[in-house]
Amino acid sequence: MHHKENSRRIQTSILNAAEKKVLVWLAERQPRWMTSDILTGIGGAGALIVAAGYVLSNFNINWLWLSTFGFFVNWYGDSLDGTLARVRNTQRPIYGFYLDHTVDGMTMAVMCVGAGLSDMLNLYVAFAVLAVYLLLSITVYINAHLKGEFKLTYAGLGPTEFRIILMIVNTLFIYVAPLRTFVAHVRILGMDVPLGSFDFIGLAIFVILVIIYLQNFICDARGYAKVDPLKKSE
């Protein structure tokens, strides 16, 4: 990702230390023609590959390998663009912040819709996950502006860890047939809704993200209330 304004980056994910070393190693070996903008574009292309793999998995489950490859491409571009700028000392804090996070929102939308158009995931579940992700993103951007903090990690998990989890899920779906054939019928608002294994995984991710969002919302609201207390009327 591009350099984020002048906000203090809070990155405490499980793989953070090792990932930083790998990204710096890769950045130092990029060809001169490679730029942060190109890498941002590569990250976006990775999201399109992810979506295409999920949609094509309707015809053959092995297309999920394409989605898994897309997650790697997305990680490569999205994670390396900011590292390259820092290594070459070519940071553009305002432009980079705007471009990176605009593209982040679009890529997440593309991947969620792609997964929702597959037979693996109910489209409404995909939209629910996308909605909470965007709510969390808004919170991150507000805190970057108000507190000078840019939090990239929640519960020890960051974007890289979530990509790896989804890559593992893809692999399990390819090799474990019962995961693909399992269907549970749930009554929702009087309607019979069939939910598969991936739907329950998506709902679990949704619930976890909602809990994280509410926890951070309450904590941040209390903190801002102390910083900006109600003025006593004279």
Q: Where are the domains of the chain?
A: 8-227
Residue 230 pLDDT class (50, 70, 90 cuts): confident
Q: What angle do CA 127, 125, 62 make, to 5 degrees?
A: 100
Unique residue bearing structure tokens 């900006």: 228
Q: What is the pLDDT of residue 5?
A: 52
The DSSP secondary-structure symbol of 58 reads T
Q: What architecture is domain 8-227?
A: Up-down Bundle (1.20)
Give the pTM: 0.87
Residue 231 pLDDT class (50, 70, 90 cuts): confident
Buried b (16+ CB within 10 A) or exposed e, 19-42: beeebeeebeebeeebebbebbeb
Unique residue bearing structure tokens 């700028």: 85
